[in-house]
Amino acid sequence: MDGQPLALKDAHDERSGIVRPRPDRTAAEDAVRTLLAYYGEDPAREGLLDTPRRFVDAFEEYLGGYAEDPVAILSRTFEEIEGYDDIVLLRNIRVESHCEHHIAPLIGTAHVAYLPSARVVGISKLARVVDAYARRLQSQETLTEQIAGAIAAALQPRGVAVLIDAQHFCISTRGVHKSEVSCVTQTMIGAFRDDPAMEARFLRLIGR
C-alpha cells in the first residue's frame, strides 16, 4: 500500500446501509499515537516514530476488502460449459481475516463448491471473493454466509457449499489461551443442503 488510501472514501455498512464519512489518514495515525500513549508508551521515541504510518499501511492491506466489490468480481461468467453439471470445487483457499470483536487475526482454510446450472465463473474469482470478504472485520459465521450468498446470487447454481476451518488468535493468544482450537463453519445452499448424499460427497472431496 505504501501510504496510498483505500479506494473507498466513505465507510459503507452493507448490513445497515449507513454511509459514514471516513476520517482522513492524519486522524488515523493520530489515533494510533493515542493508543500507544494509553498503554504507557512514548509515541515520540525513535522506535515508535514511524509506527503510526506503518500501522495504518498494514491495516489498509488487512482490511482491503472494503474496497472490493464481490458482485463485480463474479460478474464475468461463461456459458460455454459443454453440458458440465457436476461439482466445481476449490479446496484449501487460505483465509486471512480479523475478528470484529478483538481485531485479532483469524487464519485458516476455506473450501468452496457449487453445482453449475447455466454458467460458471473463472476459478480464481472464487478465491478473490473469499479474500474480498475475509479482508474485513468479520465473524467467521458471517464470512461463511457472505461467500456462499455472493456465489448463489451471481451464478444462480443448483447448489453452493462453503466450509471454513480457522484458528482465532483472540482465543489462542488472549483470554482462554487455547492454541490448538480451530472453529469450523459451513453453509450449504440448494442441493448441498437438500441432498445428504451431495453434502457427504462435498465433505469427502475436501477430506473431512
In tens, the pLDDT along 87-102 reads 999 999 999 999 999 9
Q: Where in the chain is the domain with CATH 3.30.1130.10?
A: 71-205
Band of residue 132 on the pLDDT scale cut at 50, 70, 90: very high
User: Higher model confidence: residue 5 or residue 52?
Assistant: 52
Average pLDDT over residues 47-63: 97
CATH fold for domain 10-62: GTP Cyclohydrolase I; Chain A, domain 1 (1.10.286)
Q: Where in the chain is the domain with CATH 1.10.286.10?
A: 10-62
Average pLDDT over residues 160-167: 98
Average pLDDT over residues 135-148: 98
Average pLDDT over residues 158-176: 95
All cell numbers assigned to 29: 495515525
In CATH, 71-205 is 3.30.1130.10: yes
Report the pLDDT value the prediction gives residue 2, as an integer from 0 to 100.
Answer: 45
> CA of 3: how far to CAs of 20, 94, 97, 116, in Å?
22, 26, 21, 41
Return d(Cα 157, Cα 198) in angstroms, integer. Answer: 14
* Catalytic positions: 99-102, 140, 168, 170
Phi, psi (5° rounding) for residue 204? -65, -40
Average pLDDT over residues 127-140: 97
Band of residue 4 on the pLDDT scale cut at 50, 70, 90: very low
Return d(Cα 131, Cα 98) in angstroms, integer. Answer: 12
Asked if the model's pLDDT at residue 208 lies above 90, the reply is no
Report the pLDDT value the prediction gives residue 10, as an integer from 0 to 100.
Answer: 59
For residue 40, how many other CB atoms are within 10 A of its CB? 6
Consecutive H or E run containing 120:
strand 120-121
